[in-house]
Amino acid sequence: MDISSTFRQFVNNLIVDNQESIESRFATITKRLNSDFHNIDSDSKNGIYIGSYGRRTAIKGVSDLDMIFELPEYLYNQYNNRSGNKQSQLLQAVRDSVRQTYSQSEVRGDGQVVIISFTNHFIEICPAFRENDDSFTYPDSNDGGKWRRTNPLPESTTISQTNNKFNGNLINLCRIARAWKNQAGVKINGLLIDTFAYNFITSNDNYQTLTYEKYHEFIRDFFKYIKDLNKNQSFWYAPGSNQKVYNKNSNFNAKSKKALKLIEEAIEENENKTVYEIWRKVFGKQFPYPQEINESSYNFSNTEEFIEDNYFINITNSLKIDCEVTQTGFRVGLLRDMKILKKNKKLRFFISSTDVPLPYEVLWKVKNEGRLAYDRKMWRGQIVESNLNGKERKESSDFEGAHFVECYIIKNGYCVAIDRIDVPIING
């Protein structure tokens, strides 16, 4: 498969595949709210897609849908003249309306939105009042309650217009960056991803005529760009709206640096059959792996499991794992401080830091790669539970070759944090 076909297939693999389900529920919610707040029978009026789905930058496996429901103007004065937390009262009214339709689902107010939780995704409804400039005033029930302003429509318009100008490359880049976010466990806001992609692509008019033949270089240059962004900068301005998009302790710099190193390796190894495995380290299973390569690769295993097949990915938190390396008669060390690892060591993989609040579940994946793993038929790659102290994984360095361990934190049915550590073992 040539570069052009590979990246065309990769982009196609990222297209949202549960669109019918999402839009059906959007219509049902909109119809319910229109009946209760506008006294009309419509499943489309006053409902507005926002967020990544509204900007068309969401990818396959999207776990959340953001929508605004536009309320009639008179309700603002009605609620604003009440005593107490008027914003909370408005959210409760919207919650009670939705519960009439989704009585078997969890429906709750959550500060600024009403959230409906389904088995495979959740929908966030932001009730709001349209202003004369097409921005929206919405309730924030936190800290006693206040009204806030948002302006998402120009963001969608600007992304769409710029995407058309740049041969569809902007939305493709936004989606590719999301695949990286999910694969690497990058704690970064979706609008910030789109803002980075927009700023990058509009900095070079050559991207207007870019085709798939140059996508490997296009993606490489994007990761060079975000690697060098100031990680201490507190916010960037969103395209179209110029709203501040805050960088909330994101780990995008370190993760993008690691991705860039792999991408440069993949470009250098372009003619090597192992190149697909390198790209997959960056972007996950959606990066195409041709069947003829599968059949000849030492790294391929048809028993390997992928976390996205069991859980929807919603990276909202950070995670870092490490490995304690021990052997009788030797000093204890940490794997991240070592360049290589010798055989016959005892390994204890553990969470060195995370901001996920308890309780949560910890799952692991251990994958062996290379000729010895192939010969011994010991690829592994299944998703497994912790086998030490409830949240840790005990292993050993049995044979040389490339290995890696991934850790997943599951919270409320979603995978909210991911990290990976390479385990390069040499004979000795």
C-beta of residue 169 within 8 angstroms of C-beta of residue 157: no
pLDDT of residue 376: 64
Question: What phi and psi, each to the nearest 5 degrees, are found at residue 266?
Answer: -65, -40
Same domain flag for 338 and 265: no
pLDDT band at 301 (very low <50, low <70, confident <90, very high): low
Tell whether 374 is covered by a domain. Answer: yes
Least confident of 16-20, 119-123, 179-183: 119-123
The span from the CA of 22 to the CA of 266, in Å, is 36
pLDDT over 70 percentage in the chain: 93
Task: Give the DSSP H/E element, type plus range, for residue 246.
Answer: strand 244-246
Question: What phi and psi, each to the nearest 5 degrees, are found at residue 56?
Answer: 65, 30
Q: What is the pLDDT of residues 273-293, one digit of tens each?
A: 678 888 999 999 999 887 666
Same domain flag for 81 and 181: no
Same domain flag for 163 and 140: no
Q: What is the pLDDT of residues 200-224, one digit of tens each?
A: 999 998 898 999 999 999 999 999 9
How many other β-carbons are positioned within 10 Å of the β-carbon of residue 134? 10
pLDDT of residue 403: 84
Tell whether 2 is covered by a domain. Answer: no
Tell whether 10 is covered by a domain. Answer: no
In total, how many domains does the chain have?
Answer: 3
Tell whether 12 is covered by a domain. Answer: no
Last residue of a domain, one of 122, 150, 178: 150
pLDDT of residue 377: 66
Same domain flag for 247 and 342: no
pLDDT of residue 372: 67
Q: Given a cut of 90, is residue 416 above it in pLDDT? A: yes
Q: Given a cut of 60, is residue 426 above it in pLDDT? A: yes
C-beta of residue 171 within 8 angstroms of C-beta of residue 57: yes
Same domain flag for 354 and 380: yes
How many other β-carbons are positioned within 10 Å of the β-carbon of residue 385? 11
Tell whether 8 is covered by a domain. Answer: no
Q: What is the pLDDT of residues 379-415, one digit of tens each?
A: 788 999 998 888 999 998 877 778 899 999 999 889 9
Last residue of a domain, one of 265, 297, 329: 297
Containing domain of residue 327, as a range? 298-426
pTM: 0.92
pLDDT band at 18 (very low <50, low <70, confident <90, very high): confident
Supply the CATH number for residue 140's domain.
3.30.460.90
Same domain flag for 164 and 140: no
Q: What is the pLDDT of residues 68-110, one digit of tens each?
A: 999 999 999 999 999 999 999 999 999 999 999 998 889 998 8
User: Residue 3 carries which side chain, given as an amino acid letter?
Assistant: I
Same domain flag for 310 and 378: yes
Tell whether 237 is covered by a domain. Answer: yes
Same domain flag for 400 and 289: no
Q: Given a cut of 60, is residue 36 above it in pLDDT? A: yes
Same domain flag for 180 and 93: no
pLDDT of residue 291: 65
Residues 6+ apart with CB under 8 A from 52: 58, 62, 66, 174, 178, 190, 191, 194
pLDDT of residue 46: 98
Of 113, 153, 325, 355, nearest in space to 249 by CA: 355
Secondary structure tally for the chain: helices H, strands E = 13, 20
Of 166, 174, 219, 216, nearest in space to 193 by CA: 174
Supply the CATH number for residue 369's domain.
2.60.40.10
Q: Given a cut of 70, is residue 300 above it in pLDDT? A: no
Q: Given a cut of 70, is residue 370 above it in pLDDT? A: no
Same domain flag for 141 and 260: no
Same domain flag for 292 and 162: yes
Residues 6+ apart with CB under 8 A from 25: 65, 116, 118, 123
Evaluated on CA atoms 87, 92, 94, 95, the torsion sign reads positive
pLDDT of residue 141: 96
Q: What is the pLDDT of residues 135-149, one digit of tens each?
A: 999 999 999 999 999
Last residue of a domain, one of 297, 316, 331: 297
pLDDT of residue 249: 72
The span from the CA of 244 to the CA of 233, in Å, is 12
Q: Return mean pLDDT, the chain.
A: 90
Same domain flag for 422 and 302: yes
Q: Given a cut of 60, is residue 1 above it in pLDDT? A: no
The span from the CA of 400 to the CA of 397, in Å, is 8
Mean predicted confidence (pLDDT) in 315-323: 94
pLDDT of residue 388: 85
